[in-house]
Chains A and B, each alone.
Chain A
Amino acid sequence: MLPVSAEVVIIGGGVHGCSIAYHLASKGMHGVVVLEQKYLTYGGTGRSAAGIRQQFGTEINCRLAKENIKGFIRMKEELDTDFDLELEQGGYMWLAYTEGQLNQLRENVRLQSSLGIPSKILNPDEIKELIPLLDVEGVLGASWCAEDGHVNPHRVTFAYYEAAKRLGVKFYTYTKVVDIEIEKDKVKAVVTDKGKISTRKVVNAAGPWGKEIGKMVGLDIPVVSERHQIMVTEPVNRIIKPLILCQDDGSYWKQEPTGGFLIGMDNPNEKKGYDVGVTWQFMEEVSRRVLKKMPILRDVRVVRQWSGPYDITPDSQSIVGPVEEVEGFYLDVGWSGHGLQFAPSIGRIMSELIIGEEPFISVDVLSFNRFKTGKLIPEPACI
């Protein structure tokens, strides 16, 4: 049974919703409710490539990313969880195939260095030395950060969930939000298919579906949902740790700590919408691309394939914080394919904003308002 009222209702049981819930409760807030239309991790969270990195190209993301890494390092203790979160700092490499790409990477690394991120530019010989199995034909250089890596997205989410639950947060799965009631531009209640909850504060952490939630309060949130596919191989001996991203054809891969290779690619022609189906063409195309670079994978068998939605914004940048139009309505959406790793820092910042504290890093530049003022901040380091 749903409660009749709540202090805060968080819409979305992904990694962001669960992190916000945990951070609010750990600050002593009571009456926090999380609503999820299916099961926890149903959305992008359960379908990601699980990469974490500090190699971003905008100051705000670099500053948050440093905090994310720190957050993952202390997470096991902070959340007091016995789940193996599989945190592995095996590195992350962006390969450049044109002068333009290399210049952009140089610019990113300059920014990252100025903010204390230990990334650097590598020449092809240095790349070969780090990853002897990689075919570097056509590669002009790379950017590299040894502190970046991998984390288990499911277990991180469930660890936030369990910690939040212990602190009194109530979670309701298979409960879909169908409307939000507003009175005099203030949030009044959340309506679900299982009943109504009165509340003054609502957090839209619905990922790609955030656009639909926005419509319920009359906001047009510029998020487009785009399908991204990925496949994984059988586990094999560990031969490579970093995530490798090729900027010529958008392919990327990494070997998970459990041994399977996760393989994906950027495809500008992918279907828009919330469809999470898969195609045979994807497996063929991505196999062709990745074999050119990692011929050793020829005899490894693919065992699973899936897809998930990216919530893409016009500047590939998240939308975070309260909105001017509706009092009590908060956004944490639009993560444009890199949102898993921001759960530690943004969960904390969202809780600070909701409680009315000064956020430990200002996220004003990420506000919804930027689409009205035109102050977009395009993130160049996206896959």
Chain B
Amino acid sequence: MEKFTDDDVIVCRCEDVTLGQIREVIRRGYTDPEEIKRITRAGMGPCQGKTCRDIIIREVARITGKRIDEIPVPTYRPPSKPIKVGLLAEESD
């Protein structure tokens, strides 16, 4: 039986992205979390990266040897909680 490794860990549960996929794009030279997000979709899900953002930033720091505070943080894009189209429409009536 094959063993699971760190690489199989799902970092972004909303978009189903593994740590292995994140490491792969970092190895390809993408060290800006915005670029990583745009390539892998990690951080674009319903939780808006609340769960995965910090893990990705830590991974970039680990691989590049940079300090966490040297790494740009991706923009947060409202709404803070998913909201139904129907509810939004009612509010403008």
Name A residues whose Cβ lies closer than 8 Å to a Cβ of B: 38-42, 46, 83, 154-155, 158, 162, 173, 233-234, 258, 263, 278, 281, 283-285, 287-288, 290-291, 297-306
Interface centre among B39, B44, B82, B89 (most CB of A within 10 A): B89
| B78 sits at the interface (CB 8 A) | yes
A234→B41 CA distance, assembly (Å) = 13
| B32 sits at the interface (CB 8 A) | yes
Q: Contacts A39-B34, A155-B39 given; indicate if A298 touches B82 (C-beta within 8 A).
A: no
Chain B contacts with A in 29-44, Cβ cutoff 8 A: 30, 32, 34-35, 38-39, 41, 44
Closest to A297 in B: B85
CB distance from B14 to the nearest CB of A (A): 8
* B38 and A46 form a contact (CB under 8 A): yes
* A287 and B89 form a contact (CB under 8 A): yes
A300→B32 CA distance, assembly (Å) = 31
Closest to B87 in A: A287
B-chain residues with CB within 8 Å of residue A278 when the two chains form the complex: 77-78
CB distance from A157 to the nearest CB of B (A): 8
| B20 sits at the interface (CB 8 A) | no
Name B residues whose Cβ lies closer than 8 Å to a Cβ of A: 28, 30, 32, 34-35, 38-39, 41, 44-46, 48, 72, 75, 77-79, 82-86, 88-89, 91-93
Report, nearest first, the 9 A-B pairs whose CB atoms are least far apart.
A284-B92, A298-B86, A301-B82, A287-B88, A154-B38, A287-B89, A288-B89, A303-B46, A39-B32
* B41 and A287 form a contact (CB under 8 A): no
A155→B38 CA distance, assembly (Å) = 8
Q: Contacts A284-B91, A301-B46 given; indicate if A39 touches B85 (C-beta within 8 A).
A: no
Q: Contacts A302-B79, A304-B77 given; indicate if A285 touches B92 (C-beta within 8 A).
A: yes
A53→B9 CA distance, assembly (Å) = 39
B-chain residues with CB within 8 Å of residue A162 when the two chains form the complex: 28
* A300 and B92 form a contact (CB under 8 A): no
Q: Contacts A39-B34, A301-B82, A303-B48 given; indicate if A288 touches B77 (C-beta within 8 A).
A: no
* B35 and A40 form a contact (CB under 8 A): yes
CB distance from B3 to the nearest CB of A (A): 25
B-chain residues with CB within 8 Å of residue A291 when the two chains form the complex: 85-86, 89
* B38 and A284 form a contact (CB under 8 A): no
CB distance from A156 to the nearest CB of B (A): 11
CB distance from A244 to the nearest CB of B (A): 15
* B35 and A283 form a contact (CB under 8 A): no
A278→B89 CA distance, assembly (Å) = 17
* A298 and B77 form a contact (CB under 8 A): no
CB distance from A260 to the nearest CB of B (A): 9
Return the contact of B77 from the options A39, A258, A306 (Cβ within 8 A). A306
Return the contact of A288 from the options B32, B35, B39, B93 (Cβ within 8 A). B93
Return the contact of A298 from the options B38, B83, B84 (Cβ within 8 A). B84
A-chain residues with CB within 8 Å of residue B88 when the two chains form the complex: 283-284, 287-288, 302
Closest to A294 in B: B85
A356→B57 CA distance, assembly (Å) = 45
